[in-house]
Amino acid sequence: MSRPNVLQVGRFPNRFNERLQRDYQLTRLWEQPQDFLAEHGATVDIVVTSARYGCSAEQLAQMPNLRAICSFGVGYDSIAVEQAKARGIQISTTPDVLNDCVADLAMGLIIDSARQMSASDQHVRQGKWLKGQYPLTRKVSGKNLGIVGFGRIGKDIAKRAAGFDMAIRYHNRRQDPGSDYGYEADLKALARWADFLVLACPGGAATHHLIDAAVLEALGADGILINIARGSVVDEQALVAALQAGTLGGAGLDVFEDEPRVPEALFTMPNVVLLPHVGSATEETRLAMENLVFDNLDAFIERGELVTAL
């Protein structure tokens, strides 16, 4: 392909922006007039986007000659995958390189929400220790861990949790023949059994509000929900209601339904840990994700193939 036109749909960190600008024939969508896609969409060969910015069916329709979408991130719920595939448009994401950090963060949220590290840190910083001890919290080691979504990240969470002597069971669309962990086809049954229910499944229509009031009720007053997947997987109103009523024991959340907006009702709950979608956000992992986007771009430009195609 002779010097293809690459469209970058949103801002990335400077290092990434600069390398894109330096090495490719690049257009930055946000610097263009509103009607850029309507007027010039036919000139776009490759889109560079992210799990956050996505690529909608409307955008796709405005780019009749698009051949590839290279996305920064492993989630593709914000990309119109079906429409793209129907047109033969190839899609790459950045799998695997972020598994460690997302699984690490899941463990961090398990420990923090149970042991209330963030809330007890506040206790010290606000001078409250001088007035009294922090209340007792909940143990992590040896507890039951239910994992929803047993893909690469779910398995890496299991690996870590095994080091905490946790009993592990999982719920997935299908049982994994390569795994010795117990498979639970019934999500509510898994929630009833679990002390911690960790969400590591993809977002999108198939998992929308998979965790509803009934699942939260099954998890129960001693149960803790951990979400490092997508906010859309949880009925957030039901989650807030269960936490307010005390029918759910706690939550550790890195993702929300309407990011960056987080329900304010959660702000004052010591049994809830709130993170600003930082699962993959370490220097090392973000650099690896960037490099994988460039590997995909280069492979597509050189030989029409993506390295980590969906």
- Binding residues vs ligand 8YV (CB under 6 A): 50-52, 72-75, 98, 277, 279-280
* Residue 95 Cβ vs ligand 8YV, minimum distance, rounded to whole Å: 9
Radius of gyration, alpha carbons of the chain: 21
The two tokens of residue 308 are 């980590």
Nearer to ligand 8YV, 75 or 108 (CB): 75
* Residue 20 Cβ vs ligand 8YV, minimum distance, rounded to whole Å: 15
Q: Is 250 exposed, middle or buried (0-12, 13-18, 19+ CB in 10 A)?
A: buried
Nearer to ligand 8YV, 114 or 210 (CB): 210
3-state secondary structure string across 140-206 = CCCCEEEEECCCHHHHHHHHHHHCCCCEEEEECCCCCCCCCCEECCCHHHHHHHCCEEEECCCCCHH
* Residue 266 Cβ vs ligand 8YV, minimum distance, rounded to whole Å: 20
Which residue has its beta carbon closest to ligand 8YV?
Answer: 73
Q: Identify whether the C-beta of residue 71 lies closer than 8 Å to the C-beta of residue 81.
A: no
Nearer to ligand 8YV, 160 or 277 (CB): 277
* Residue 217 Cβ vs ligand 8YV, minimum distance, rounded to whole Å: 28
Nearer to ligand 8YV, 48 or 248 (CB): 48
Residues marked active site are found at 230, 259, 277
* Residue 236 Cβ vs ligand 8YV, minimum distance, rounded to whole Å: 17
* Residue 132 Cβ vs ligand 8YV, minimum distance, rounded to whole Å: 39
